Amino acid sequence: MSFFSDLFAKKEKSVLGVDIGSSSLKVVQLRKERGQAILETYGELALGPYGGSEVGQATNLSAEQITETLKDLLREAKVTTTSCGVSIPFARSLLTLVKLPYRKDPQEQKTVIELEARKYIPVPVNEVQLDWFIVPQAEPAQFADAESAAPTRETVEVLLVAVHNDELALLQSVAAGAGLAASFYEIEIFSTIRAVVEDPVKPVMVIDVGAASTKTYVVEHGVVAISHAISVGSQDITRAISVSGNVSIPQAEALKKKEGLGTDGALGSPELVFSRIFSEVRRVLMQYETGHKKSVSSIIFTGGGGVTKELGAYAKKTFSIDVRVADPFKKTEAPAFMRPVLEEIGPEFAVAVGLALRKLEEV
């Protein structure tokens, strides 16, 4: 399965977002015009068939196989640019929120953070790329006071982000092998946030239901306050349907897409798998809410599994908060007739859209 779209084919100032997911590759090409992000083309190619498994199932392909698939995708989607940003799988990265000593001087603060970070990263620091963000401490309304409050401040909350050099090397070889010039590699959840979370907002929980895993995190003031990867994804629903219904994987995949959690849960298995996912989501939600003494205002579903039929209703019943499905293409300009399609496929492309939006800022 693959689908492609070639909307407008102009060359100048075009950028590309490349999402290397566990089950498929996705690309989104945007161009900036009068401050708008114009959608030029997008495409997706399932990795399964390239690695001896089925569409919708996660794969573990070599860099060479991913490169070949990406080349096919770039050609079939008629991508006309090589300037891109590439996603880093959340499962291959480490995010930790730590409290460190506060320093007023930014340069000193940087030194403190980079020294202290060593204690929290479970591998030698020279084996990883390290990044960090300072978490805004007060509510926006209190920021006016920040200057006077600063001297009494003793700690600062820092989100440490580490990615193993091997993972980056793999991604770099894929990008170079496919003839692309990647100017950054970004952990997928940051790309998704850019594409689907409106800012400024109350705390929002994002749930990215991928093929191999479900990524869940709470975003507050544009910063990730808590994050967790659940090693259950939409591929497990297909497998469960296949076993319980005694049908092949492709048949189960089709059933999953057709019914989802609908028709009074006739399939049974999707609900079982989602209840496992949701019990972990609930744990993350409670940990956030007790730790930060704030409630999450809404849940945003994204990823291919995020469009599962009746998932929204099921989640609303489980969590009793506002639930919606991500619409990342809303941040792009596209012909009106494309809208219904873009809304439907959007969640799967959230990471690629977010990457392309960041890349556009460079133009």
234 sits near ligand ATP (criterion: CB under 6 A): yes
For Mg ion, which is the closer residue by CB, 21 or 346? Answer: 21
Q: Judge whether 255 and 227 are in contact, CB under 8 Å.
A: no
Both structure tokens of 19: 């999402």
Q: Which of residues 84-113 bind ligand ATP (CB under 6 A)?
A: 89
Which range of residues in 15-23, 97-105, 112-120, 164-172 is near ligand ATP by CB under 6 A? 15-23
210 sits near Mg ion (criterion: CB under 5 A): yes
- Tell me if residue 8 falls in helix, strand or coil: coil
Which range of residues in 95-103, 141-149, 206-214, 219-227 is near ligand ATP by CB under 6 A? 206-214
The angle that helices 269-292 and 234-245 make with each other, rounded to 10 degrees, is 150
How far is 21 from 86, CA to CA, in rounded Å? 11
Which is it for strands 155-164 and 223-230: parallel, antiparallel or unpaired?
unpaired
Residue 221 contact, options ligand ATP, Mg ion, none, Cβ 5-8 Å cut-off depending on partner type: none
How far is 36 from 258, CA to CA, in rounded Å? 35
For Mg ion, which is the closer residue by CB, 14 or 22? Answer: 22
For Mg ion, which is the closer residue by CB, 100 or 233? Answer: 233
166: Cβ contacts below 8 Å, ≥ 6 apart: none
Which is it for strands 214-220 and 204-209: parallel, antiparallel or unpaired?
antiparallel
89 sits near Mg ion (criterion: CB under 5 A): no
229 sits near ligand ATP (criterion: CB under 6 A): no
How far is 54 from 50, CA to CA, in rounded Å? 9
252 sits near ligand ATP (criterion: CB under 6 A): no
Which range of residues in 62-70, 162-170, 208-216, 264-272 is near Mg ion by CB under 5 A? 208-216
For ligand ATP, which is the closer residue by CB, 46 or 360? Answer: 46
Residue 56 contact, options ligand ATP, Mg ion, none, Cβ 5-8 Å cut-off depending on partner type: ligand ATP
DSSP 223-262: EEEEEEEES--HHHHHHHHHHHHT--HHHHHHHHHHHTTH
Helix (H) or strand (E) holding 133: strand 128-134
Both structure tokens of 351: 């990471």
346 sits near Mg ion (criterion: CB under 5 A): no
21 sits near Mg ion (criterion: CB under 5 A): yes
Cβ burial, residue 224 (10 Å; 0-12/13-18/19+): buried
For ligand ATP, which is the closer residue by CB, 285 or 307? Answer: 307
**Closest CB 213 distance from ligand ATP, rounded Å:** 5
Residue 67 contact, options Mg ion, ligand ATP, none, Cβ 5-8 Å cut-off depending on partner type: none
Mark residues 288-307: x for contact with ligand ATP by CB under 6 A, - for none. Answer: ---------------xxx-x
Q: Which of residues 128-147 bind ligand ATP (CB under 6 A)?
A: none
274: Cβ contacts below 8 Å, ≥ 6 apart: 237, 261, 308, 311, 314
Give me the amino acid identity at 240.
A
Nearest CA to 257 out of 244, 267, 248, 247 is that of 267
> What number of other Cβ atoms are within 10 A of residue 287's Cβ?
13
Q: Judge whether 20 and 171 are in contact, CB under 8 Å.
A: yes
Residue 270 contact, options Mg ion, ligand ATP, none, Cβ 5-8 Å cut-off depending on partner type: none
Which range of residues in 64-72, 204-212, 228-236, 315-323 is near Mg ion by CB under 5 A? 204-212
How far is 95 from 358, CA to CA, in rounded Å? 20
23 sits near ligand ATP (criterion: CB under 6 A): yes
Which range of residues in 3-11, 160-168, 175-183, 227-235 is near ligand ATP by CB under 6 A? 227-235
> What number of other Cβ atoms are within 10 A of residue 339's Cβ?
13
For Mg ion, which is the closer residue by CB, 65 or 109? Answer: 65
Which range of residues in 9-17, 78-86, 118-126, 204-212 is near ligand ATP by CB under 6 A? 204-212
**Site residues for Mg ion per CB under 5 A:** 21, 210
**Site residues for ligand ATP per CB under 6 A:** 21-24, 56, 89, 210-213, 233-235, 238, 253, 256-257, 260, 303-305, 307-308, 348
